[in-house]
Amino acid sequence: MRSKLYINGAWVDGTSTAPVYDPSDGSVIAEVALAGEAECEAAITAAHNALPEWSKTSPRFRSEILRKAYEMIIAESDAIATLVSRENGKVFADAKGEVTYAAEFFRWFAEEAVRVPGDFRKSPSGDKRILVTHQPIGVSLLITPWNFPAAMATRKIGPALAAGCTVILKPAGETPLTAMAIVDVLERAGVPKGVVNLILPSPVGPMISKMLHDPRVKNLSFTGSTEVGRVLLREASDCVIRCSMELGGNAPFIVFEDSDVTSAVQAVMAAKMRNGGAACTAANRIYVQRQIAEKFTAEFTKAMSALVMGPGMSTGVNLGASVSLKERNKIAELVDTAVKDGAKVSIGGKTPEGPGAYYPATVLTCEKNNEILKHEIFGPVAPVVVFDTDDEAIALANDTEYGLISYVFSGDLQRAIRTAEALEAGMVAINRGVISDPAAPFGGVKQSGLGREGGFDGIHEFLETKYIGVEI
Supply the residues annotated as catalytic: 246, 280
Q: Are strands 16-22 and 27-34 parallel, antiparallel or unpaired?
A: antiparallel
| 170/460 with CB nearer ligand NAP | 170
Q: Contact, 400 vs 425, CB < 8 A?
A: no
Of 216, 222, 204, the residue nearest 155 (C-alpha): 222
Rounded CA-CA distance 359/334 in Å is 12
Rounded CA-CA distance 213/231 in Å is 14
Residue nearest to ligand NAP (CB): 224
Contact status: 253 vs ligand NAP (CB under 6 A): no
Rounded CA-CA distance 207/271 in Å is 36
Select from 12, 130, 131, 204 the one that contacts ligand NAP (CB under 6 A): 204
Site for ligand NAP in 351-390 (CB under 6 A): 376
Count of residues that bind ligand NAP according to CB under 6 A = 28
What are the DSSP calls for 366-413, one per residue? --TT-GGGGS---SSEEEEEEE-SHHHHHHHHH-SS--SEEEEE-S-H
Contact status: 150 vs ligand NAP (CB under 6 A): no
Contact status: 173 vs ligand NAP (CB under 6 A): yes
What single-letter amino acid sits at 323?
V
Select from 112, 187, 246, 461 the one that contacts ligand NAP (CB under 6 A): 246
Q: Contact, 44 vs 135, CB < 8 A?
A: no
Select from 137, 183, 208, 463 the one that contacts ligand NAP (CB under 6 A): 208
Which of these segments, 14-22, 147-155, 338-346, 385-393, binds ligand NAP (CB under 6 A)?
A: 147-155
| 176/349 with CB nearer ligand NAP | 176
Select from 18, 131, 231, 434 the one that contacts ligand NAP (CB under 6 A): 231
Site for ligand NAP in 255-314 (CB under 6 A): 280
Burial class (CB in 10 A: 0-12, 13-18, 19+), 451: buried
| 225/318 with CB nearer ligand NAP | 225
Task: Name residue 362's beta-bridge partners.
Answer: 381
Contact status: 147 vs ligand NAP (CB under 6 A): yes
Select from 247, 293, 309, 396 the one that contacts ligand NAP (CB under 6 A): 247
Shortest Å, Cβ 208 to ligand NAP: 4
| 95/261 with CB nearer ligand NAP | 95
Rounded CA-CA distance 370/160 in Å is 42
Q: Contact, 403 vs 418, CB < 8 A?
A: no
Which of these segments, 100-108, 188-196, 225-233, 306-314, binds ligand NAP (CB under 6 A)?
A: 225-233
Rounded CA-CA distance 375/397 in Å is 13
Cα–Cα–Cα angle for 393, 394, 399, rounded to 5 degrees: 100
Select from 14, 449, 454, 458 the one that contacts ligand NAP (CB under 6 A): 449
Of 307, 263, 245, 257, the residue nearest 444 (C-alpha): 245
Which of these segments, 5-13, 22-30, 95-103, 224-232, binds ligand NAP (CB under 6 A)?
A: 224-232
Q: Are strands 463-471 and 128-136 parallel, antiparallel or unpaired?
A: antiparallel
Contact status: 192 vs ligand NAP (CB under 6 A): no
What single-letter amino acid sits at 223?
T
Shortest Å, Cβ 462 to ligand NAP: 16
Residues near ligand NAP (CB under 6 A): 143-148, 152, 170, 172-173, 204-205, 208, 223-225, 228, 231-232, 246-249, 280, 376, 404, 444, 449
